[in-house]
Amino acid sequence: MSQLGRLTRISTTILRYRLDEMIDSIHENHHIPGLLGFCLRYSPTRLLPKPKEPLARRLRLTMEALGPVFIKFGQILSTRRDLLPDDYADELALLQDKVPPFPSDQAIQLIESSLGQTLDAVFAQFTDKALASASVAQVYSAQLKDGTDVVIKVIRPGIEKVIQQDLKLMLFLARLAEKYSVDARRLQLVQVIIDYEFTIMNELNLKLEGTNTTRLRRNFADSDTLYVPRVYWEYTRTQVLVLERVYGTPVREVNVLKSHGTNMKLLAERGVETFFIQVFEDNFFHADMHPGNIFIDITNPEDPTYIAIDCAIMGSLTEDDQRYLAQNLLAFFNRDYTEVVRLHIESGWVPQDTDPSEFEAVIRNVCEPIFEKPLSEISFGYFLLTLFQTAREFNMEVQPQLVLLQKTLLNIEGVGRELYPELNLWDTAKPFIERWIRKRSNPLDTIQALIKRAPELLQVLPRLPDLLINADRELQQVHSALNKCNTALIEVNKKLDKKTTRARWLVISGVLFLAFGCAYMLFNADQQALLSGTTIGMLAALAGLLLIIR
């Protein structure tokens, strides 16, 4: 489909669900000027009947109708609960990849061309009916020559071109929205789409997903809580990924898990523990842990184990973010709001000029009513969302890595509460974070870290005097350069002031000449003085215009 054809389809779908009503809310709060505002306000499409569904639901239906790229974008947008109204976030969270499978002969052709071999040469058995079909890829079952059961993930043919076309259109619409709407700018639609582009383009590289899967598998190699399938690298390419086939019960089938006598309390607690291990100990967490990507091994129901698949989207934090996040969480556990404010300002999550007393008062007013409830009734994830929404009033910058973490936490807590409604995530999280902070502040660990890096330190030590002297010299040069810049800026400001004053007088003189010329022509318009009056007046007006233009 051409760019024009795609744009036409998007436009007609938007009109069918009457999303033009969103323009009304933008127009009421932020006037859209000029021809664009007129066309949007008085478009003939306003005569179309309005659907009965709420606007948030119509937005979801529009994205479902527009296909895979918009569906996945809506899923990502639904995680921005710190910025979206609840009704929109709830609706977008219902988006599912209900995508019809593409023909298996195309998949077979792609697999064979990627591997450079026929299916019969690589696999003992291949089932040509797809196990699953999603927006970006399709999955088939197969068996290697040694009898190992595997799954083959194949990228949809032509999907990259579709994604690039839709992303261009999304960016155009986002820039248009940000131009006229404060809400769109606060949502940072353009940045969200740029982040989405990075995410979805990475999903097209199955080698990257294989690398993520291998790393997560290595991190939990000795774990009795999480199992990650093996990647068969000899058969993996950019568009084809071959993985060990895993068998388990989908985590959403709670009744099946209970009917087998699964220890649901242990299972829920292990889910939380696994999440915090990934975030704080490994600093590499699965960022797409929705129920469709989680299975449970209930071979031993009293000792259930998680199985994770689809490692296309992974997250990590900087050491500073890890530390500040852990300290923030602990401060909240202890209701130490002064410490919370200090950490937010020190980390740069809110501007340095934020009034600490005012920020603390707002945080306290938000948190105290929440903490009056029993901890088991407080959603940890939604508590963080409330906090981010509050901090936004103080111009808290969007932290993409924290948004990804927040999304994962909501998924984990949702799964945990579904498995075991009495799950108290606070009780599970607090001891873990306290141990992590103690370990980080343990002097022995610091000494061990120094010993570990001793060879590097010993190499640098003889050069230390020279490094200090060079650093001092460079600081002096920087100081001198700053002084020169300051002097130059003062001179520039002086020149600008002179030019501004000169320009102001030119404009005033021009206006006076223009007014004089027009008046002279009007008052000397009698028959006898017509020629001279017109000539003098026109010359004066022309001189005035030239002065104004200059």
Q: Which helix (H) or strand (E) holds 114?
A: helix 104-115
Check pLDDT > 80 for residue 32: no
Distance of CA 233 to the CA centre of its chain: 30
Mean pLDDT of the region 364-385:
74
Closest CA to 210 of 231, 240, 229: 231
- Stated length of the chain: 550
Instruction: For CA atoms 278, 279, 284, 287, give the dihedral sign.
Output: positive
CA distance to 105, 290, 380, 480, per residue, from 408 (Å): 36, 8, 12, 49
Alpha helices in 220-318 (DSSP H): 254-259, 264-276
Q: Within a 10 A sphere around the Cβ of 319, how many other Cβ atoms?
A: 9
pLDDT mean across residues, the chain: 79
Task: Provide the pLDDT for residue 70.
Answer: 82
The pair phi, psi for residue 126, each rounded to 5°, is -140, 125
Q: Which helix (H) or strand (E) holds 398?
A: none
Single out the catalytic residue among 82, 166, 288, 310: 288
Cβ neighbours for 239, distance < 8 A, ≥ 6 positions apart: 110, 114, 154, 155, 204, 206
Closest CA to 272 of 99, 419, 78: 419
Under 8 Å between Cβ of 228 and 216: yes
Closest CA to 540 of 526, 522, 520: 520
CA distance to 33, 69, 172, 199, 285, per residue, from 194 (Å): 27, 13, 12, 9, 21
Under 8 Å between Cβ of 170 and 201: no
Under 8 Å between Cβ of 254 and 239: no
| Measured distance CA(52)–CA(17) in Å, rounded | 10
Residue type, 497: D
For residue range 432-464, what is the model confidence (pLDDT) as tens digits? Answer: 888 888 887 766 656 766 676 677 767 767 776
Highest mean pLDDT among 98-112, 166-180, 388-402: 98-112
| The pairing of beta strand 226-227 with beta strand 305-308 | parallel
| Measured distance CA(296)–CA(252) in Å, rounded | 10
Instruction: State the pTM of this model.
Output: 0.70
The better pLDDT of the pair 237, 188 is held by: 237
Tokens, residue 400: 């993409």
Tokens, residue 520: 């002279």
DSSP 244: E
Under 8 Å between Cβ of 192 and 173: no
| The pairing of beta strand 294-297 with beta strand 149-155 | unpaired
The better pLDDT of the pair 11, 129 is held by: 129
Q: Mapping DSSP to helix (H, G, I), strand (E, B) and coil, where does residue 364 land? A: helix
What burial class does residue 249 get, using C-beta atoms within 10 Å of its C-beta: 0-12 exposed, 13-18 middle, 19+ buried?
A: middle
Residue 320 is a catalytic residue: no
| Measured distance CA(542)–CA(185) in Å, rounded | 44
What residues does 240 pair with on adjacent strands?
154
Tokens, residue 170: 């999304």
Check pLDDT > 70 for residue 15: yes
Task: Provide the pLDDT for residue 124.
Answer: 96
Check pLDDT > 70 for residue 81: no
Tokens, residue 361: 């008062």
Q: Which helix (H) or strand (E) holds 489?
A: helix 464-523
| Measured distance CA(459)–CA(414) in Å, rounded | 51
The better pLDDT of the pair 307, 548 is held by: 307
Tokens, residue 268: 């829920």
Angle, CA of 205, 212 and 222, to the nearest 5°: 155
| Measured distance CA(164)–CA(124) in Å, rounded | 37
Residues above pLDDT 90, as percent of the chain: 24
Mean pLDDT of the region 85-93:
81
Residue type, 132: A
Distance of CA 349 to the CA centre of its chain: 16
Angle, CA of 44, 45 and 50, to the nearest 5°: 135
What residues does 363 pair with on adjacent strands?
none
Q: Which of 12-21, 292-301, 354-363 has the lowest mean pLDDT?
A: 12-21
For residue range 488-497, what is the model confidence (pLDDT) as tens digits? Answer: 777 777 777 6
Check pLDDT > 80 for residue 310: yes
Q: Mapping DSSP to helix (H, G, I), strand (E, B) and coil, where does residue 102 land? A: coil
CA Rg value for the chain: 32
Mean pLDDT of the region 332-348:
86
What burial class does residue 266 get, using C-beta atoms within 10 Å of its C-beta: 0-12 exposed, 13-18 middle, 19+ buried?
A: middle
DSSP 242: E
